[in-house]
Amino acid sequence: MRAAYFRGDGVIDIVDVPTPTPGEGQLLIKVAANGVCGSDRKILQGGFNLIPGHEVAGTVVEAGPGCQTRPGTRIAAYIPIHCGECPFCLQGKGNLCPNMKGLLGWATDGGYAEYMLVPDRCALPLEDGISFAEGVVLLDTIGTSGHALRLSRCWDAESVLVIGAGPVGIGAVAGLKAFGVPNVYVTELSAYRRERVAELGGIPIDPTTENVEERIRAQHPYGVDIVVEAVGTLPTIWQSMDLVTRGGIVNIVGEYWGKVELERPKGTWMINDMTLIRSFYFTIPEFHENQRMVLDGKLNAKGLATHTFPLEEIKAAYDLFDTGNSLKILVEP
């Protein structure tokens, strides 16, 4: 089968490798689409010795012994390699499994290949009427942001600021509108993405030409009810704490592994009854709830997948992603 390898310094090789054989509890899927993700850009520079790709949808072509999912089933892949038996897994919260054996596409070969092995319990069946493109968007883009929004009980909010309209941020905008939040402000550098924000009913702000704090405080003197931080940098995390109202919620969903000093010069952390949430990925029941919202026409998943490239042109997909002139880009092996 054809598969992509990230060699480092932005070099991608497409090579022929043996198609894997599913073992006990494993499914072999024919990959239909794999989403381009900001978190893969680091390994694109640093290099990676496995096949990358962790936003995968495809069709089961072979099931190893002991699998429940049957060949022919269309699935998306839930990446936490969870145990299925702990108290968290029993509630469908595989993202919190303390026995997790890493993530698909990070600890195992991923979906930038024609075929991929997926543990049976990581198979999320797609309902009729959900396309593969929607299946991919329902993972990191809508799944991760939707989990953050549910943890923040966003339906109670009157105003929300989303910092960054990359795939997760734009997923948050779609989710906030689906949950009926009236004022959704979005700071984003890319003009292309600001236009998509406006199409979804959000209020775009260009932080290079507008003072974000003045713009927010003109309408919300004490700050917004919720800030969704979808960039993953210290300055934007601190900006979140500055712009949330007293008693409000800051949800950090952007990928950030560094330390965060909580006390700001304005003293917001100590005195403002702020709720700080650090959310990670999503639960399996939430995935099915999100599928239902797409099928009911409440959530626009299809519109969030903007571009498609064949596997042979995966480098061009990452180059486009770097320009900011895209939302979710799909690579189709």
Residue 39 beta carbon to Zn ion: minimum distance, rounded to whole angstroms: 5
Task: Examine residue 97 and tell whether it contacts Zn ion (CB under 5 A).
Answer: yes
* 19 within 8 A of 61, measured Cβ to Cβ: no
Task: Examine residue 43 and tell whether it contacts Zn ion (CB under 5 A).
Answer: no
Task: Examine residue 328 and tell whether it contacts Zn ion (CB under 5 A).
Answer: no
* 179 within 8 A of 154, measured Cβ to Cβ: yes
Half-sphere exposure of 91 (CA within 13 A, CB side): 8
d(CA 51, CA 56): 13
Task: Examine residue 228 and tell whether it contacts Zn ion (CB under 5 A).
Answer: no
Residue 146 beta carbon to Zn ion: minimum distance, rounded to whole angstroms: 14
d(CA 111, CA 224): 39
Task: Examine residue 121 and tell whether it contacts Zn ion (CB under 5 A).
Answer: no
Task: Examine residue 86 and tell whether it contacts Zn ion (CB under 5 A).
Answer: yes
- What mask, x for binding Zn ion by CB under 5 A, covers residues 130 to 169? ----------x-----------------------------
Residue 110 beta carbon to Zn ion: minimum distance, rounded to whole angstroms: 10
One of 4, 29, 33, 37 touching Zn ion (CB under 5 A):
37
Task: Examine residue 82 and tell whether it contacts Zn ion (CB under 5 A).
Answer: yes
Task: Examine residue 56 and tell whether it contacts Zn ion (CB under 5 A).
Answer: no
* 161 within 8 A of 216, measured Cβ to Cβ: yes
Task: Examine residue 196 and tell whether it contacts Zn ion (CB under 5 A).
Answer: no
Pick 120 or 140: Cβ nearer Zn ion:
140
Residue 64 beta carbon to Zn ion: minimum distance, rounded to whole angstroms: 20
Q: Which amino acid is at 135?
A: G
Task: Examine residue 96 and tell whether it contacts Zn ion (CB under 5 A).
Answer: no
Task: Examine residue 83 and tell whether it contacts Zn ion (CB under 5 A).
Answer: yes
Q: Spell out the residues 6+ positions from residue 221 whose beta carbon is closer than 8 angstroms to its own.
A: none
d(CA 83, CA 131): 28
Helix then strand then coil, in percent of the chain rounded to 5, is 35, 25, 40
Interface residues with Zn ion (CB under 5 A) are 37, 55, 82-83, 86, 89, 97, 99, 140
